[in-house]
Amino acid sequence: QAVARDDSLYQSFGGQNGLVRLMDDFMTRLLADARMRPFFKDADQAALKKQLVLQFCEVSGGPCRRDGPTMKEAHDGMDITRGDFNALVEVLQDSMSAQGVPFAAQNRLLARLAPMHRDIVNTP
Ligand code: HEM
C-alpha cells in the first residue's frame, strides 16, 4: 500500500531542478566566501553537489535517499567549529534567498538541518 508523504517542502524548493540550481549557486558562494573557501576548494565539487541535492531532497520530504557516510564520518577529517557551521548556514541562507526559496520554507529546512551540528561540529 502506498504511503502518502508530505513533499510540500520539497515542492517549495522547486523539486529536483530547483535543488540542482540551489546547489550550483551554493557551491559558487562557498568558494567565494573567505571563511568557507579553505574547506571546499579541494573537494570534488561535482560529487559534493550531487550528494547535497540528494540529501536536501530527502530531508525536504522528496523522493530521494542519500546513502554514503554518516554526517559524523563525512566531516571527521576536518576541524569544524560552531562558527564555521554558522557561517555555512549564513551562506546557505543567502543562496536560498537568491534562488527565491520562500522564507518560511528556508526556515523549515534549516530546522531539519540544525540538529546535525552535533555530528558536524567537532572542534571547540
Ligand atoms: C547542516 C550542515 C551541513 C550539511 C547538511 C552537510 C552535508 C554534507 C554532505 C551530504 C556531504 C557529502 C558526504 C559524502 O557523501 O561524502 C558533505 C561533505 C563535506 N562537507 Fe558538509 N555539511 C554541513 C556542514 C559543513 C560544514 C560546516 C563544513 C565546513 C565548514 C562542511 C564541509 C564539507 C566538506 C569540505 C565536504 C567534502 C569532503 C570531501 O569529500 O572532500 N560541511 N557535507
Domains and CATH numbers, the chain: 8-120 (1.10.490.10)
Nearest-atom index, ligand 1, CA of 44:
41
CB of 59 within 8 A of CB of 113?
Answer: yes
Q: Which of 64, 66, 75 to mutate to test the pocket of ligand 1 (most atoms within 8 A of CB)?
A: 75
Residue 94 CA to ligand 1 center (angstroms) comes to 18
Q: What percent of the chain has pLDDT over 70?
A: 99
Residue 88 CA to ligand 1 center (angstroms) comes to 10
pLDDT single digits (tens) 77-110: 999 999 999 999 999 999 999 999 999 999 999 9
pLDDT single digits (tens) 37-55: 999 999 999 999 999 999 9
DSSP 15-78: HHHHHHHHHHHHHHHHHHSTTTHHHHTTS-HHHHHHHHHHHHHHHTT-S----SS-HHHHHTTS
